[in-house]
Amino acid sequence: MSKGIPLAEALARYRADADIAPLPGSTDIDTLLNTYHPDHLRGSVVKLAVGANAGDSCQRELAGLLQAEAFIDEADLAGSPVTDIDVLVIGGGGAGCAAALAAAENGARVLLATKLRLGDSNTVMAEGGIQAAIEPDDSVQRHIQDTLRGGHHVGDPTLVSALAGDGPEVLHWLINQGMQFDQTPSGDLHTRRAGGMSTPRLVHCRDYTGLEMMRVLREAVIQHRSIEVWEQSPAVELLSNEVGQKCVGAVLTSLNNGQLRIVRTRSVILATGGLGRLHLNGFPTSNHLGATGDGLVLAYRIGARLCELDSFQYHPTGLVHPSHLAGKLVTEGVRAAGALLVNGLGQRFIDELQPRDVVCAAILRECSEGRGVRVNDQHSGVWLDTPRLERAQPGLLEKQFTSLMTRTRVAGIDPRVEPLLVHPTLHYQNGGAVIDANGATTVPGLYAVGEVSGGIHGRNRLMGNALLEIISFGRRAGAAATADRDRGPKKVTLEHVNQLRRALTLAGLPMTQRAPQILPDYAAGGVWNR
Partner 1 sequence: MTTSNTTANGDDQAQSVALTINGLAVNAHEGMSLVEAAWHGGVPQVTSVGCLEGVCGSCRIMLRRGKEVTVGLACQTFVENGVEVVFLPPASAPLHHYEVSDFKDGWDIQARFQDIFPEASRCRHCHGCDNACPKGITVENGVALAAAGRFREAGEAFFECVMCELCDAACPELIAPAHVGLFSRRVTAHFHLRPPNLIHRLEELRKERMENPPKDRRKKNNED
Q: Report 317-336 residues binding partner 1 (CB under 8 A).
A: 320-328
The DSSP H or E segment spanning 171 is helix 157-177
Verify binding: residue 192, partner 1, rule CB under 8 A: no
Min CB(375)–partner 1 separation in Å: 5
Q: Which of residues 243-272 bind partner 1 (CB under 8 A)?
A: 255-256
HSE at residue 487, side-chain half, CA atoms within 13 A, is: 2
Site string for partner 1, 204-243 (x = CB under 8 A): --x-x-xxx--xx-xxx-xxxx-----xx-----------
Among residues 24, 282, 394, 510, the one that binds partner 1 under rule CB under 8 A: 282
Cα(463)–Cα(207) distance, integer angstroms: 13
Min CB(10)–partner 1 separation in Å: 14
Verify binding: residue 439, partner 1, rule CB under 8 A: no
Min CB(214)–partner 1 separation in Å: 8
Q: Which of residues 342-401 bind partner 1 (CB under 8 A)?
A: 375-379
Which of the stretches 338-346, 356-364, 483-491, 494-502 binds partner 1 when contact is defined by CB under 8 A? 483-491
Cβ–Cβ < 8 Å for 97, 112: yes
Which of the stretches 39-47, 142-150, 446-454, 518-526 binds partner 1 when contact is defined by CB under 8 A? 518-526
Verify binding: residue 503, partner 1, rule CB under 8 A: no
Strand partners, 183: 189
Cβ–Cβ < 8 Å for 404, 330: yes
Mark whether 502 is an active-site residue.
Answer: no
Min CB(50)–partner 1 separation in Å: 26
Nearer to partner 1, 232 or 460 (CB): 232
Number of chain residues interacting with partner 1 (CB under 8 A): 90
Cα(294)–Cα(273) distance, integer angstroms: 8
Among residues 41, 289, 345, 503, the one that binds partner 1 under rule CB under 8 A: 289
Residue 382, phi then psi, degrees to nearest 5: -130, 170
Cβ–Cβ < 8 Å for 112, 230: yes
Min CB(244)–partner 1 separation in Å: 23
Verify binding: residue 513, partner 1, rule CB under 8 A: no
Q: Which of residues 291-310 bind partner 1 (CB under 8 A)?
A: none
Label each residue of 238-251 as H, E or C.
Answer: EEECCCCCCEEEEE
Mark whether 315 is an active-site residue.
Answer: yes
Cβ–Cβ < 8 Å for 249, 238: yes
Nearer to partner 1, 117 or 391 (CB): 117
Q: Which of residues 22-81 bind partner 1 (CB under 8 A)?
A: none
Min CB(449)–partner 1 separation in Å: 18
Verify binding: residue 488, partner 1, rule CB under 8 A: no
**Max CA separation in the chain (angstroms):** 73
Verify binding: residue 157, partner 1, rule CB under 8 A: no
What b/e string do you get for 343-374 counting C-beta neighbours within 10 Å, with b at 16 or more?
bbebebbbebebbbbbbbbbbbbbbeeebbbb
Which of the stretches 83-91, 147-155, 278-286, 307-315 binds partner 1 when contact is defined by CB under 8 A? 278-286
Min CB(499)–partner 1 separation in Å: 27
Using DSSP's 3-state secondary structure scheme, residue 43 falls into coil
Nearer to partner 1, 405 or 494 (CB): 405
Cβ–Cβ < 8 Å for 217, 203: no
Cα(275)–Cα(296) distance, integer angstroms: 9
Cα(100)–Cα(97) distance, integer angstroms: 5
Cα(514)–Cα(67) distance, integer angstroms: 9
Options 204, 279, 315, 321, the catalytic residue: 315
Write out the catalytic residue numbers.
315, 335
